[in-house]
């Protein structure tokens, strides 16, 4: 199906793409480096959204990372069905909507821990060292036996109303 509301992926040259001059999202060097690691590990899995003239609607950071990696083309979806107002609004919404999600930190810690046990380089996940340490704990903070774990379980806990992380009090 290839109509204006169901575009197909097209590979476009980076030289064809233009950044949206009023893009309010800022991509610092640390994020670009994380995006580069992600592209190297997983490939370019999230197409850039562009309008008919090649102006980037969503994917400014991915395009910059691709450029820094020496890529010459990237997968794009050309969105011809949006009005100019919708394009501008989507540029904002695409960046804001994911920030409304939260993490189940217990499940996230289990997933990252299991990835580490399988030898996977978790630095490609976008978390910095401090965040990983907070999620997984440092080796000296981990209980050494079941008795310590049981003592921890007996302590009172509270859940942060903002991030929903459970803390021992």
Domains of the chain: 9-100 (3.90.1530.10), 105-168 (no CATH)
Tokens at residue 13, please? 């040259």
Contacts with 32 (C-beta within 8 Å, 6 or more apart), sequence order: 61, 64, 65, 68
Across the strands, what pairs with 159? 166
Could you read off the pLDDT of 88-119 as tens digits, one per residue? 999 999 999 999 999 999 999 999 999 999 99
Ranges of beta strands (E only) in the chain are: 9-13, 48-50, 56-58, 73-78, 157-159, 166-168
pTM for the full model?
A: 0.74
Contacts with 143 (C-beta within 8 Å, 6 or more apart), sequence order: 149, 152
């Amino acid at each position: 199906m290839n109509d204006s509301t169901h575009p197909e992926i097209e590979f476009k040259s980076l030289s064809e793409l233009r950044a949206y001059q009023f893009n309010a999202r800022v991509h610092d060097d640390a994020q670009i480096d994380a995006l580069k690691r992600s592209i190297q590990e997983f490939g370019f899995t999230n197409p850039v959204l562009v309008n008919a003239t090649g102006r980037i609607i969503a994917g400014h950071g991915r395009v910059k990372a691709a450029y820094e990696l020496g890529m010459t083309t990237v997968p794009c979806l050309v969105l011809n069905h949006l009005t100019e107002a919708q394009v501008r609004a989507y540029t904002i919404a695409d960046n804001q909507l994911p920030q409304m999600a939260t993490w189940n930190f217990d499940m996230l810690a289990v997933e990252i821990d299991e990835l580490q046990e399988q030898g996977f380089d978790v630095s490609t996940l976008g978390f910095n060292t401090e965040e990983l340490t907070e999620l997984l704990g440092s080796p000296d903070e981990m209980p050494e036996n079941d008795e310590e774990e049981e003592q921890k379980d007996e302590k009172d806990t509270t859940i942060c109303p903002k991030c929903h992380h459970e803390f021992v009090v």
